[in-house]
Amino acid sequence: MKRKEIGFTVAVLILFVIGYMGTVHGNAATVPKDKSIHLADNSMFIVLSTGEVYMTGKPFPLSDVYDGNFLPMPIGVENTRQLSVGKTHLAYIDGTLTLYGIGSGSYEQITAQTDSILPSFNSVNGVIIAHDIVDVACGHYHTLFLDSQGKLYSMGRNDKGQLGIGKTTRQNRATHVLSNVAAIAAKGDTSFAIDKEGNLYAWGDNGYGQLGTGDTKHQNKPKKVLTKVKEVYPGGKHTFVKKSDGNVYGWGNNANGQLGFKSSTAKQLSPQ
């Protein structure tokens, strides 16, 4: 592609994003609002205020269909209330509070004993996972979702305890984890939940201290980490939270200074 054509393509993409984006998210790092952008390893998903979803790049198991898109294109998913992207799957909630899954279900992260790799997104809504769902968060190969009663469920890969069910075996059925939950988040093999009192719980991969438990032991059950938490932003190997007083705390991998501390400590095992 010629330099002028590349410049034009980038300019169009920037204008599209500026015109339609609200907030930018990684793999379910926050609870998205009206308009949002969700980043995967090699692709980007844009949820418009109308509920329509657009995509750029090369999306996980569908690279044979979408081989690198420079310009945003619709994927045939509409009426989207919320969306979250994992390593090889995505999940979204529509206006009827129905949760759908699209992509690979190789670890049962989408639905029971079904590999729902789809030949195309177009005119395909995916498989129904559950109803009456208000929040969803995808890790690499696991899925968390929250119903309207504040009950948190998990399914999928569980080798590091990321499902929070007290064991490390894969689950091909949604399993109840916590109640009285207000918000959830996931990234990589980590999982987080904020309850209605503002208590933060963490579980899963803890090799870099990213759960904030003061050690590097993986957790297969939710462990209370902080109180008075408003938002949580997991990065997979490091984590940030915003508390109700507006202060921001971080912990986990700091080998490249990603926590923003003056200290050059490689791992921060507890909130600071």
Q: Block means of pLDDT (10 residues each) for the chain, length 272 residues? A: 42 41 40 64 84 78 54 81 87 90 70 40 59 94 94 94 96 92 97 98 97 97 97 95 96 91 83 87
| 143 in Cβ contact with 86 (< 8 Å) | yes
Which residue in 231, 165, 249 sits closest to 193, CA to CA?
231
What pLDDT, on a 0 to 100 scale, did the predictor assign at position 201?
98
Contacts of 246 (CB under 8 A, 6+ apart): none
Q: How many CA atoms lie within 13 A of 40 on its CB side?
A: 27
What pLDDT, on a 0 to 100 scale, did the predictor assign at position 209?
96
Task: Say what the alpha-carbon torsion angle 108, 111, 112, 116 is, to the nearest 10 degrees.
Answer: -80
